Structure 1
Amino acid sequence: MIQPKPVSESRTLLTDLVFPPDTNHHHTIFGGKVMAYVDKIACIAAMRHCRKPVVTVSSDSFDFLAPIKTGEAIHLEAYVTWTHRTSMEVFVKVGAENLLTGEKRLTARAYLTFIALDENGKPTPVPPVIPETEEEKKQHAHAEERYALRQKRKLELEVN
């Protein structure tokens, strides 16, 4: 059996400054740019957890809650919340910080699923995850429900 790993081993942080080329005509960061950041940081968290190459399988929830403006910092935090045999669910929080006032706010949240790959590009088992904080325990407690919804959605897509 693969040894379980604590969530803290996958936790990944990223902070960057939002410049004018990153933004739209509203002077807020492009949603696609945020999505690219989210996919990248989630990939790093998943690889830290399993120490294998991974591929993104789904983004079953991506909620934009508030815009991030030119000149603000974008801050992302990602960690593995739950694992199945070869898959990992990763939660990502996106925040903004006004660097002049210190005001911080949550701007987006997302759940992504990754599959670990072996040296032949085939799915390979991943370690179970051990939640540590209250937030992680809540995420973990509801993960099987999210997994079941993903499986249901996958079956519905195969039928159509």
Structure 2
Amino acid sequence: MDAKKPKESLIISTDQVLVNDLNNYNTLFGGVLMKKLDNSATLSARRHARVKECVTASTDSIDFLNPVHQSDSVCVESFVSYTGNRSMEIFCKVIAEDMITGRRRMAATAFLTFVALDENKQAVPVPDVIPQTEEEKFLYESGEERAQTRRVRRKHSKQLTDIIGLEKPWEKGEYLYGENISQFG
């Protein structure tokens, strides 16, 4: 399997910001942006692995750096920045551009991890990455550290699921907001 350059998985998607995309502060809903990031990152992962399906394994971080307003366009750029054997880290950056003034600013950055699947929904090996630019090299060289952080976080999440329960609080007779809710049912 031949290694690939990050630019081979590059996806660039630009949209206008619509009134339905805005929260009560008249800025882009974080969830709307998260959907845009996931869509773009999915295409980058599929383009890199050249498979029909890739699934999101994790969203490591989304750092909201500057608000996005209705007068802005929102441009999401994504590409594969690091790979494991069967996983791909996708780096996303979001650039907001004021359509009136032309002023551009970094609105957000994010790291998402994807797994490529075969026709039987089984994880398959993915090509390695050959970074070219200074940005790509920085992301690649720091990728193993982020991968290790993901492994620690995943282990912690698995431990947590062994501890937390699925019971409804009112079925356990626990207190909610200082009141014993079993008295209501």
Unaligned 5+ residue runs, structure 2?
161-185
Counterpart Cα distance in 1 of 2:105 and 2:54? 30
Map 1:143-158 → 2, pairs under 5 A: 143-158=143-158
Root-mean-square deviation (CA, aligned residues, Å) is 0.7
Counterpart Cα distance in 1 of 2:156 and 2:21? 36
Radius of gyration: which is bigger?
A: 2
Q: Secondary structure at the match of 1:67?
A: coil
Q: Which amino acid aligns with 1:7?
A: P
C-alpha distance after superposition, 1:64-102 (max 9, x if no partner): 111100121001100000111110000000111001111
Give the structure 2 partner of residue 27 of structure 1: 26
Q: Using the TM superposition, give the Cα deviation of residue 158 of structure 1 relative to its aligned residue in structure 2, in angstroms.
A: 1.3
Q: Secondary structure at the match of 1:125?
A: coil
Contact 2:9 2:44 in 1 (8 A): yes
Unaligned 5+ residue runs, structure 1?
none
Counterpart Cα distance in 2 of 1:159 and 1:27? 39
Q: Secondary structure at the match of 1:129?
A: coil
Tell me the matched-pair count.
Answer: 159
Counterpart Cα distance in 2 of 1:130 and 1:12? 17
Give the structure 2 partner of residue 113 of structure 1: 113
Q: When the two structures are superposed, what TM-score results if normalisation uses the length of structure 1?
A: 0.98
Q: Which amino acid aligns with 1:152?
A: V
Looking at both structures, which has the greater relative contact order when contacts are Cα pairs under 8 Å and sequence separation is at least 6? 1
